[in-house]
């Protein structure tokens, strides 16, 4: 294994805390990874990693070497990016993490077009509602709704999604239909919370040019977007989500929009990636392509109001 590959391996071991996971991420045998790190430590004359049966952590020398290694790898990637052949014909593996709805309804139905445009890029997609550590998990780019506040990531806005508040006909027959946003406080809501956070998101409606937040009571809370919609279909309460997710239910009458005279703040959807990968041709062409998809679906209009979300937490998308 050459020095460049050894640096890549070392940084992945530090980020993942595991020889086995790092070897898997780089598609090499674990024995090869172990031998390469031993050779690296012998060449440097210093122990870089403390190994236990449960985890692998960098030593003080390892921490210093890791910081320098990351800078070297970033500079090398930037240098490769400057080559016209790589810019014109990006190649390699692009690792994405997408919220399930954005994967199944927007990106995956058109992913063949991306492949046709960039045939040398291999795409690996993970999906779910959870927050991910892009650096630790080796992810190049994520697509998320809401306004993230993680200053360690580069944010590129893709579109702004109109939201609505709705409920099932059964719920409205039992509890009545609100005629003003203030009345939401007297209704049942399906709660939505981020994993590891007990707080429920309030309803947000624009009244007289300002965003009004209304807390509603409820007896059920979920942390998954599909469960959120399913609970509304079951008559458990009101929900607030981007309209595009509910078109089929609205047309079939399974869900009914309430308060149509008032608009909800638009929900931005963004692509996020680590600073040290901001010049990667693979990431750049994916974001340019994804922006085309989102602008085609939602338009390039100015948002009514950005829906702010603390710390980039999952949203009711």
CATH of the domain at 7: 1.10.10.10
Query: pLDDT exceeding 70 applies to what percent of the chain?
Result: 84
Residue 275 lies in a domain: yes
Residues 154 and 273 in one domain: yes
- Return the pLDDT at 306: 41
Q: How far apart are CA 262 and CA 224, in angstroms?
A: 26
- Return the pLDDT at 173: 97
- 38 by Cβ neighbours in 10 Å (0-12 / 13-18 / 19+) ranks as exposed
Q: Is the pLDDT of residue 260 over 90?
A: yes
Residues 170 and 223 in one domain: yes
Residues 168 and 242 in one domain: yes
- The model's pTM is 0.71
Which of residues 125 and 201 earns the better pLDDT score? 125
Could you tell me if 158 and 291 are in contact, meaning their C-beta atoms sit under 8 angstroms apart? yes
Q: What total number of domains does the chain contain?
A: 3
Could you tell me if 270 and 143 are in contact, meaning their C-beta atoms sit under 8 angstroms apart? yes
pLDDT digits (tens, 9 = 90+) for 98-109: 987 889 999 999
- Return the pLDDT at 73: 80
CA angle, 309 then 310 then 311, to 5°: 115
Average pLDDT over residues 137-144: 85
CA angle, 19 then 11 then 285, to 5°: 115
Residues 140 and 25 in one domain: no
Which of residues 70 and 34 earns the better pLDDT score? 34
Residue 194 lies in a domain: yes
Residue 317 lies in a domain: no
Residues spanned by the domain of 244: 163-258
* pLDDT bucket at 131, cuts 50 / 70 / 90: low
Q: What is the CATH number of the domain that holds 235?
A: 3.40.190.10
Could you tell me if 93 and 124 are in contact, meaning their C-beta atoms sit under 8 angstroms apart? yes
- Return the pLDDT at 21: 87
Average pLDDT over residues 299-314: 47
Residue 145 lies in a domain: yes
């Amino acid at each position: 294994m050459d020095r460049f590959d050894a640096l890549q391996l070392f940084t992945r071991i530090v980020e993942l805390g595991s020889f086995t996971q790092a070897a898997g991420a780089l598609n090499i045998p674990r024995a090869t990874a172990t031998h390469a790190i031993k050779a690296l430590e012998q060449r440097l004359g210093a122990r870089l990693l403390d190994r236990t049966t449960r985890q692998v952590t960098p030593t003080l020398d390892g921490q210093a070497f890791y910081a320098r290694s990351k800078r070297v790898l970033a500079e090398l990637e930037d240098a490769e990016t400057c080559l016209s052949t790589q810019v014109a014909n990006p190649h390699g593996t692009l690792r994405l993490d997408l919220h399930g709805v954005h994967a199944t309804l927007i990106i995956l139905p058109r992913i063949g077009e991306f492949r046709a445009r960039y045939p040398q890029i291999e795409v690996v997609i993970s999906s779910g509602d959870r927050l991910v550590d892009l650096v630790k998990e080796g992810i190049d780019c994520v697509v998320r709704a809401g306004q993230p506040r993680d200053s360690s990531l580069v944010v590129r806005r893709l579109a702004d999604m109109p939201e609505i508040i709705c409920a099932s006909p059964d719920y409205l027959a039992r509890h009545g239909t609100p005629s003003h946003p203030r009345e939401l406080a007297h209704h049942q809501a399906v709660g939505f919370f981020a994993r590891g956070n007990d707080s429920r998101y309030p309803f947000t409606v624009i009244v007289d040019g300002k965003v009004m937040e209304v807390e509603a009571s409820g007896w059920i809370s979920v942390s998954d977007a599909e469960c959120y919609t399913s609970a509304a279909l079951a008559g458990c309460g009101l929900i607030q989500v981007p309209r595009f997710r509910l078109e089929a239910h609205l047309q079939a009458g399974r869900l009914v929009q309430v308060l149509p005279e008032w608009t909800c703040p638009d929900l931005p959807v963004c692509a996020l990636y680590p600073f040290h990968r901001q010049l990667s041709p693979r990431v750049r062409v994916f974001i340019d392509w994804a922006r085309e998809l989102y602008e085609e679906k939602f338009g390039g209009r100015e948002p009514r109001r950005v829906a702010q979300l603390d710390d980039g937490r999952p949203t009711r998308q």
